[in-house]
Chains A and B, each alone.
Chain A
């Protein structure tokens, strides 16, 4: 709980500093906001790891196939990284770069989900046969 207040306070403080720097120097203000974003997300690493471990443990408890849980977590990771990269590009007013990052993430997610889609298609074929 204490960490959250520190997190929010640092974010607001860095936003003010980045805004001030952007008036005189756009690139350095941009770098400051990028660094603040990365540092703030890095502080989330421990809770995020706990959440991922809990999800894994729950899936194991429910006797779900091991591969599927790993795949879902992997897709979550790709989405998380892509969202960070795209938002950073958007902050730098590079909308087209952000869209390309998102497109790349979508293609990657589709390729990750391909085995599952194939299994679903096979299941449907078996049921209808």
Chain B
């Protein structure tokens, strides 16, 4: 089970939320938006890899080629 990967993503999520909260409180909304986009890109890269792996697995199990 990819628990380690899951925890990594959750950690990135928490970290980005904290950074964005701090930046928003400091009145730097523009940098906060950029941080959100950067974090989302990193997380999405991991998500897309895992979803692709899932679909490849389904294809090989059910003989979908």
Contact = CB atoms under 8 A, between A and B. Distances in A.
Contacts of B31: none
B62 A31 contact: no
Interface in B1-40: 1-3, 5-6, 9-10, 12-14, 16-17, 20-21, 36, 39-40
Interface string A1-40: 0010011001000100100110011011101101110111
A103 B5 CA distance: 32
B40 A31 contact: yes
For chain B, which range describes its interface: under 10, 10 to 19, 20 to 34, or 35 or more residues? 20 to 34
For chain A, which range describes its interface: under 10, 10 to 19, 20 to 34, or 35 or more residues? 35 or more
The interface residues of chain B, by DSSP majority, are classed as helix
A78 B47 CA distance: 20
B62 A74 contact: yes
A10 B6 contact: yes
B10 A24 contact: no
Contacts of B50: 35, 38-39, 42
A25 B20 contact: yes
Contacts of B43: 28, 31-32, 35
Interface of B: 1-3, 5-6, 9-10, 12-14, 16-17, 20-21, 36, 39-40, 43-44, 46-47, 50-51, 53-55, 57-59, 61-64
Interface of A: 3, 6-7, 10, 14, 17, 20-21, 24-25, 27-29, 31-32, 34-36, 38-43, 45, 48-49, 52, 70, 73-74, 76-78, 80-81, 84
